[in-house]
Amino acid sequence: MTDFETLSKRYGELVDQVNRHRRAYYEGNTVLISDAEYDALMHELELLESQHPELITGDSPTQTVGGSANQAFAPVEHLDRMMSLDNVFSHDEMAAWIAKTSEGPFLCELKIDGLAINLRYEKGVLVSAATRGDGVVGEDVTQNVLTIKSIPRRLAGEGHPSVVEIRGEIFFGVDDFAKLNEGLIADGKAPFANPRNSASGSLRQKDPKVTAGRPLRMLVHGIGAWSNPTAAGQPIRTQSGMYALLGSWGLPTSERFAVVETAAQVLEYIDGFEKNRHKLEHEIDGVVVKVDSLSEQQDLGFTSRAPRWAIAYKYAPEQVNTKLVDIRIGIGRTGRATPYAVVEPVKVAGSVVEFATLHNQDVVKAKGVLIGDTIVLRKAGDVIPEILGPVIELRNGSERAFVMPSNCPSCGAALAPSSEGDIDLRCQNAKSCPAQLRERVAYLGSRGVLDIEALGYVAAVALTQPLEPQKAPLSSEADLFDLTLEDLLPIQAQVLDPDSGLPKLDADGNPKIVDFFRKKDGSPAEVALKLLRNLEEAKTKPLWRMLVALSIRHVGPVAARSLAAHFGSLDRIFAASEAELSEVDGVGVILAQSLREWITVDWHREIVERWRAAGVQLETPGHDGPGSGASAGGMFAGLSIVATGSLKRFTREQIEEAIISNGGKAASSVSKKTAFVVAGENAGSKLAKAEELGIEVIDEEEFQRRLNS
């Protein structure tokens, strides 16, 4: 294997691993590895991409923020992107960040362990509230937020901007959370495991009356869209000055932030609250440090997912001892076999832990744990379960070593490396392994792919793993668009936990079984009828979504959009050579190889042909192939274009597709390479950056004119 092949292989592994952990955290409220391990993976990925940009694929996590919005709520597009924060975990890392970032002063504030929220006020009136979502589109939780007493419906004072986005954190106070659980227990209901998940669940109630009965609170920590922050006609120059203004409007701001001048004072603030973290009125998992000067913030700018002028210092996690009951194997969408630990349930950092990932057999060996051991468990960042190692002194001789199985626990097929030297083992039965098929079907139904609302995780289980002796309606994705009501009605299935893949239990401790697609009287349930309607609607989804739905390794939405815009049909994509594929913006060598390898497999080709026969649209209407889309002849060929602010004629997705389909790159940040910026109302920092760099700024009317010309 050449050096480049080794790098390509490692890059693919990193993309897969980081994306898996992101999906688990943002979409499933599940945490699989420690913050430190996650950050190490991201750092290695970023280093590879900086040294070898030709490796970058469209599904790289460096191109996106967070996860997708929950399909139970209407989507809301943020005027300004909601970013994540980079993390540090030690004094040395904190001091190094300060040294390369600013001479101060710095604003230090507590990092509340809650749910990020974006409030949009127009002329001082609250008009919408949305969760972070993927940073661009969140969930509309306006009606539920209106029940939170600390959030004003109308801002106090005068001189409010026409539109402003307020960012903050929604949470439970420690005492309020305890009282809430006491009430649930008194009513015979199960208590919540931890304040963060309960805050998230309370805000996502379909009935606002339920949210109103929960003592949720909010603290503000910043703003989004608002191009020129002023107070009494004077510009706001600092983050702390911004907090004072927001407080004067009646918004809830923290009294515990401090503005300090030096690195030593920053560390003093961090250490002081770490010692007293459990005496506070709410849970925290660290401290956020920001450059106080707004102009300096603007100069420092952003990476693809985080501001350079702010950092989160994560406190050392709590640790507990518990029993390692078993080590089992989970099979993912790509067949990767991942050992995970089953532990005696234990409460740590405010939540109950039952499972923890062990990554692969080498990690199990390195940690030195035996099944039956008393182990040290921590929640890194007070969120993520991680096994540190065994308490050897407590061994009694009954413990046993873990042996990595040679066969898939789901289908019995052989587990083997994908290539020579690969640490990870994969199930070789990609076509019909129930676990792989289940994960692929659930994935293609998700909002970011075909957006089939009735095809959630439980439905995916029912369709691929019904109870014996029933035959699964789906033996592969090829069957999806041929489903009929007759296929659905007989199906009974166990309800599986999406995190562990284990059966959920009923009140008596037995596996929970459901007639998923029919009512007790035998008539079709609404979910069955809705699924068939959703599938019919999905047949005309854009080509790029169909490409992502095929679960081809490395093919994410960004690359899929570019491929669809360039070639215009699935047939032309699969007929293209590796060289032709690699020429498309956002594709590259690895992804091109993956596409060519995928279509050589018989059952993969069967999926495409069966979908075509079922009436699925596998081309872009009116597209004439390379040369009519994102080719060298496209109107925006080779141009990097940024859209910002509130647009009236386009949604975010529509303007990105308009740019890509005309040969351009829809960039997320402004740089010297940006050709021009399309700015809507209330454009914020991106507009300011463009003006600072002297980059052309146009409105959407001019953009439309250029499209029509």
Catalytic residues: 111
Whose CA is closest to 656, among 539, 560, 531, 555? 560
The CA distances from residue 547 to 103, 332, 534, 553, in Å, are: 48, 20, 18, 11
Going 577 to 580 to 584 to 589, the CA torsion angle's sign is positive
Between CA 53 and CA 60, with CA 56 as vertex, the angle to 5 degrees is 140
Residue where the block lists tokens 């040369």? 627
**Which helix or strand (DSSP H or E) is residue 221 part of?**
strand 216-223
Work out whether strand 216-223 and strand 125-131 pair parallel, antiparallel, or are unpaired.
Answer: unpaired
Phi, psi (degrees; rounded to nearest 5) at 139 = -100, 135
Q: Where are the alpha helices (DSSP H) in 148-238?
A: 174-186, 195-203, 208-212
The CA distances from residue 220 to 68, 110, 150, 199, in Å, are: 23, 11, 11, 16
DSSP SS3 for 392: helix
Q: Using CA atoms, how far apart are residues 440 and 550, in angstroms rounded to an integer?
A: 8
Q: Using CA atoms, how far apart are residues 374 and 322, in angstroms rounded to an integer?
A: 5
DSSP SS3 for 549: helix
Q: Using CA atoms, how far apart are residues 215 and 225, in angstroms rounded to an integer?
A: 29
Q: Using CA atoms, how far apart are residues 427 and 62, in angstroms rounded to an integer?
A: 28
CA 473 to chain centre: 30
Helix 652-661 crosses helix 557-567 at what angle (to 10 degrees)?
50
* Residue pair 555/59 in contact by the 8 Å Cβ criterion: yes
Residue where the block lists tokens 């097929």? 413
Q: Using CA atoms, how far apart are residues 147 and 151, in angstroms rounded to an integer?
A: 8
SS (H, E, C) 235-268: ECCEHHHHHHHHHHCCCCECCCCEEECCHHHHHH
Between CA 243 and CA 250, with CA 249 as vertex, the angle to 5 degrees is 95
DSSP SS3 for 191: coil
* Residue pair 252/217 in contact by the 8 Å Cβ criterion: yes
Q: Using CA atoms, how far apart are residues 669 and 650, in angstroms rounded to an integer?
A: 19
